[in-house]
Structure formats: structure tokens, C-alpha cells
Structure 1
Amino acid sequence: MIDETHDPARTSWVASANGHPDFPIQNLPFGIFSPESGEARPGVAIGDAILDLGLIASLLPERAATLLGGKTLNALLALPADERIGLRRRLSELLSDERHRRTVEPALHDAASCRLHLPCAIGDYTDFYVGIHHANNIGRQFRPDNPLLPNYKYVPIGYHGRASSIRPSGEPLTRPNGQRKAPDQEAPTFGPSRRLDYELELGVWIGAGNELGQPIPIAEALSHIAGFCLLNDWSARDLQAWEYQPLGPFLAKNFHSTISPWVITPEALAPFRIPQPARAEGDPAPLPYLRNENDQATGALGLILEAAISTPTMRQDNLPPHRISHGPAANMYWTVAQIVTHHASNGCNLRPGDLLGTGTISAPDRSGFGSMTELTRGGAEPLALPNGETRGFLEDGDEIILSARAEREGYVPIGFGPCHAIVRPAPVI
């Protein structure tokens, strides 16, 4: 999958793309945007600009060009991988070869003046729990001697989330109301969550789907993945603790999830695929339907994930966001191919534009913890910020900023773009 589009010597006549931290010509992610005056439409991020695909449709491969008239990327993501690769190669040519500049440049928009939307009509959303360090860190708070439940190392655990409340980066979230019951209370009370948290995750966009009743073999799983994004699955820990037994997450999770709006394609990430980390000695091997040598050899992603916080006081004092988490995306017990295969193993039909979350990606040590409940041990050890403020959990006005960067010697680094949101107060009920 590595070709001339990954050449580190390739530059763009779009000057801002050269050396851009997220969107050099080696990335070329897809998204849905609208200019200052205009309807939502498909585009490609290139440096500080967005290329309006509809305006250059006549220059693109014929089948892809026919899919650029709508306000979602669902049909485009459903293209077979070879056609998606052909589209990427053509876009790279158009944006690198000076001969095309006069024709293509009028189709560029200043990204700062555009609005970004959800890239797809998300039919279904499933959140997994494949970050083993997060599972261990959370489990120790409840079961110090046995943090992982017996099924964790056999089953890619997941739950069906709420697609309707997923929002693009920048849209504020409203603190949820709900029932919460402290251990020393006789009965629950209702009101705003007091233990609002973030979760640092990757999102996986489904491309080609499968028919109901037809599983996806592990060797074919990657052909059903059309892209990746950042995902913050906001969580109300006090609501969660009261409601999650026996059926799992509900109101504590379905009130808002934030994603980065650009679809980072598997082709852009091809140079950054790395071996899946070996399982600990004594761990069971995956069951045969989840076992594939190629997937184990290249199934992880060489990404560094970060989370930062910006409080109202920090913004008022013009202080930069403070990084609170930093670690590799390879801290996943299961690969994305394994979660796709497991999801469809019972015949569940995945569809173009469905979104899968990896679950919180954390680390063995505090520097890479991917949620506030880990960083503060459930609020018992508040996080100290550089300006003297502390946080046990998130307060109104706090902003969480997630970022991801892929780096490998010999290749141009690429990023995922923005994934941030500010907490607003809960409504009065």
C-alpha cells in the first residue's frame, strides 16, 4: 500500500501543506465542510486549505466523481480499496504537479473560514474496551486483586452506543443530568453529574459492509475499514456507577461523544502500521476466528495520542492548554481488524459510515492515563495544573483537546486534526 503518494520528497504547490503538522500532501483526509456561504459538501484537507471535491469532479476517477454530490461521505467510504487508492493517487498528483495549479487552485477554501461537519450519516456506533491498561487501571479501583474479568482476554468487549449524540470537534457538550448514588446514601438523587470525565479513543469508520448473517473473516477485515478519527466518549462516572449493573452503560455515556471530523484513510496510515504488541506470558491465544499472522505483524498503528486541558482561568490568563496524557495507540489488547471481525462474527451487518470506538487507550503509568478517573484515582488524588488549579473531574467551562500524530523515520509525519469541546452547565430540570 506504500506508493508515490507517501514519498517524503513530494511537496505541494499549496505552500501551507509543506511541513504542516497534520495535513501535508502525504495525508489527504476526507471530510464534509461548508464555506462561509454555502451548503455542506465533500472536501480534502491540504495544509491550511480545503479542496472542494465537487468543483474538480471532472478531474477525478469517474466512479468516485459520481459520489461527490451529497452531504455525507458514506458512499465514498464504501468504495473498494483499489478505487479509494486510485482517488488518493489522483488527488496527490493534482495537488503536487504545478501543471494542475491553475485548474485546481480556484477550488481551494481557507480552512479557517469553513465549518466542519460530521463526515458520515452514522447509522450505528459501537464502543469497545480494548485498551488493556485502562481496563486494568479501572478494574483495580474496584477489584484490586483481580482487575480484569475472566472474559477480557478472550472477547473484544463492546457495547452498543448512541449514534445520534455524536458531534464534530468544537461543538460544546452539555453536562448531563441523571441519577447518582454515593456509597453512603440510602437512595439515589437526581441532578447534574459531579464526576464528568473524558476518554481518549480512536474511532474506526466502516467502509464496505457485510450482509446480515454473513460474518467478516479476519483476513478480510481491513478491507471493511475506510478510515480513522479521534474519539472522546465523554462519561459521567457517578451516573455510570449507579446504572451500569446489570446491563452496562446507558445515560452515563449516550449524552455526547466528540470526534475529529477528518477521515484519515488506511492508505495515509500505511507507513505507520506496526506489529501488534505481544501478549503477556500465560495469556491465552486468540480463538481461531480472531487469529491471523498478517494482522499480528502489521495490525497496530504507530500513533502518539495526547490529551490536554484548558480551564476558563487558563484561557482568561492566555495560558496554553496543559498536556495531561501522552502515549502510544499501540496500547490496545485487540487490533482494529479483530474488533471488526468479532462485531460481525454473529452475522451482525455493518454498514458504510458505521463508527466503532476502541475504548479508552491508556498506559501502564500515569503519564499515559487516558481519563480523569485514572489520573485522579477516582477523584481521590486531584490533578494539579501549572497555574495552581486542581481537578478531580471536569468542571463547567473546561475544554479537553485530543490530538494524534503518526511518525516514522523516513516518512512525513501526519496528524488527525482537531478534536476538542468545552463543557457547558447542565440544564435545570
Structure 2
Amino acid sequence: MTQPFTLVIFGVTSNLAQKYLLPALYDLEDKGLLPDGSHIIGIARSPQKEGWIQEHLHQILHKENLHHKHEIKDQIKELLFTRLHYLDGHLDNPDFYQKLKIKLDGLNSQNIIFYLATYPDLYQPIFENLKLSGLSNLADGFVRLMIEKPFGSNLKTAKQLNKTLHQYFKEEQIYRLDHYLGKEALRDILSFRFGSSSVESIINKDHIDHIQVSATENFGVGERGAFYDKVGALKDVGQNHLLQMLTAATMEKPITFTNEEVTKERVKILKKLLPQKENIIFGQYEDYTAEKNISPDSLTETFFALKTFINNDRYQNVPIYLRAGKKLAQTLTEVTIVFKDKKNQPLRYHVHSQRDNFLVQDPYEALILDAIRGDQTYFNDVQEVEAQWAFTDPLSAESEKGIPVIYQPGSWGPQEADELIEQDGRHWINF
């Protein structure tokens, strides 16, 4: 039986907490997966009246949310209400952490998960004050830290962040969260591949013509303009989501399916990826600069397509094409393996799914459960994050040099992206 725990959410009023985290906690409650005696403490800056956090959750659950569309049961909601607590305070103020400690002691919290749903510039004061207050380690029970991507903005800043993290926490306490690793479909890739010897026997250079990884969206930046304009498509989804899909589809079978062994195989693939600066295209959808919170002279890419190779014996000379973008013809998130023998249909792993079915586990549900259990298999470790940036940095430097190609909303992106793959006698697979 999973031990009771207290989840402390720094930034409970953030978009991330409202859209993903709190609805996922409702679903865990509904499925009976939150241990008895567990608590949730939401933290934000503003003082609120008694009962505010319960009303806040009520409004979130009844608000239209593409990621959480099923019926809300009053009985389950009321049960979750009993676990909820609220604390206000400034996260750079040491006195606040004494207040937090008193609250945790009052709840008899022996196991704590700190979830950072805040801006990265608050990480350092949070880490420092947790340590000074004695909350980064407990004599009895566990302390774990869940931290959302982005993990830095390049290899240098990722290393700085990891160095900072290790000043206050051990690596086994750190759960770097990329929600793609919580998707059932992505996890199922490993089960499908390694559960079938006939499938695994043809996943190699002798049988594969090429591999495509796509993460296309039929909508724009929406309310994320201020953040998105600072990062662009390559850093937003290429450096993490697409590489997660690629490594799952191409990694070797681990000796055992432990966190260490699975992560080790993902990292091996990342370290063998060849960044080819001459084989990348950047695009921007028309009228992107008219979007909310976007600079009128922005050169940020909303689309990229690239070609790469895995420099190992299994995939030697097998071209790999990656693409991602916004305001495209269709929302499509998948890995497609195309075989040389045309009698073999392409192998397609669908990663994106509209969650109309309550039985399809939300990525945040899966990752919260993993953190409760102490399973880091589907979280990024320090080596994986740095290997992702090591591949992406040279390509990102190319985007900073030039002007992205303008493409029409509702298309599949710039013509140059088609030419990138068509010059090799291949084409993008669009469904």
C-alpha cells in the first residue's frame, strides 16, 4: 500500500496547476488512488478567506478544459476538499517557510512532495529556504521535488540548474517532469516493441527505410505568447517531446526495466544523435506577430523540420525526420517507422489522444503516482536533460541566425520542409 503523503504545490493559482495538476488530483481521488491520510497544500501570494482553496478547486473542475472533460461527482469533489489546505506568502521570504513547517507538522506529514508550478526565477529562493528550514530532508519518511520543464534554456543553463538542484537535493529526490513521459501511449511503445520478438527483429537498418517523428498542432500559441516567443518550437517541443518519442521508439531493450536501466538506454540514443545544421528548416505562421504578447518584429519559429541520424550500428545511415509546428493542417503526434519492404505497412505509434475517455490515464495522474511510489523511470535525469540540450543547441543557434519562412495557417508548413524530405525521394506521412 502506498504511504500517505503531503503534496505541497508552489503556485497553486498558476495555469499549469489549474489546467493539469488539480484536475489530475481529482481523477486520482475518483479512482481511489490517493492514500488515506494524504493532504494537499496549495501556496500562492495573496491572502484568502477560509474555504477559498475549496472554492478555487470547484471553479477549476467546472471550467471548460480540453484536458478534463468528464463528469464531476460531488461526492468525490467533497472528499478531495477535505484534503485541501491553503497558505499565502512570498516564496523568497524565510519566515514563510517556518509557517509552512508548522503547517506540515500539524498535519503530521512524514512524506512530502514539493511540486514547483512557478517561474524558474523562483527556484533558487525556494530551494534555499526549504533547506534552511529543514524541509529538504526529513529524518523519517521521504522528501521529493517535482519540477516542470523547461530545464534551462540551453546546455549551459541546464547544467547551472542541475548544479543548483544538487546543492539542495540528492538526484534520487529530484523528479524532472516532462508530461509526454506520462502519456500511456508513449509508455506502451516499450511494451509493444519489447513484448513482440517479431516486431523487434525488424527495428534496424536492414529493414527500416526511414523514421518520422511529428508533433503538429492545428492551433496557435493562444495565451502562451509571452513564454512561447522567448523559446520557439524547437525548444518548446523539439528538445524534449520529440526526442522522448524518438528514444522510446529506437532505444535498445534494457537489461531490466528499472529506472536506471531504461534511462540509460534513452541517453545512449541521445548521445548518438547527429545534429546537422545544414538540414533544418524554420517557419513562422502568417500573422504570428499579431498574436497577444508577441513582439511585432519577432523572428521566433513556430515550426521546424529537420533531418538527423543515430550514429550506431543498429540505425547506421537510417534517416530520421522530425517536425513540429503550430497552426498546421491537423493535430498529429506520432512516430512512424517506414520499412524498405513495401509489403510491410509503416509502423505508427500514436502518442496524442483526445481524452474524452476517463479510463485513459492523464499524464499528470501517471507521473504523480510515479512520484508517490518513488519510481523515476519516466522522469528525466541529469544526463538525459543535458544530452537533449547537447543535440539541440547547435540547431538552435541556426534559428538565431536567420529569418523563418512564413507559411499559411492550415497548411503543413513551409514548402522548404517538404523539399527537405522529398530531395531524398520520400514524403511526409500526413493523416
User: Please, what TM-score do these two structures have when normalized by structure 1?
Assistant: 0.26
Higher normalized helix content (fraction of residues): 2
Higher normalized strand content (fraction of residues): 1
User: Please, what TM-score do these two structures have when normalized by structure 2?
Assistant: 0.26
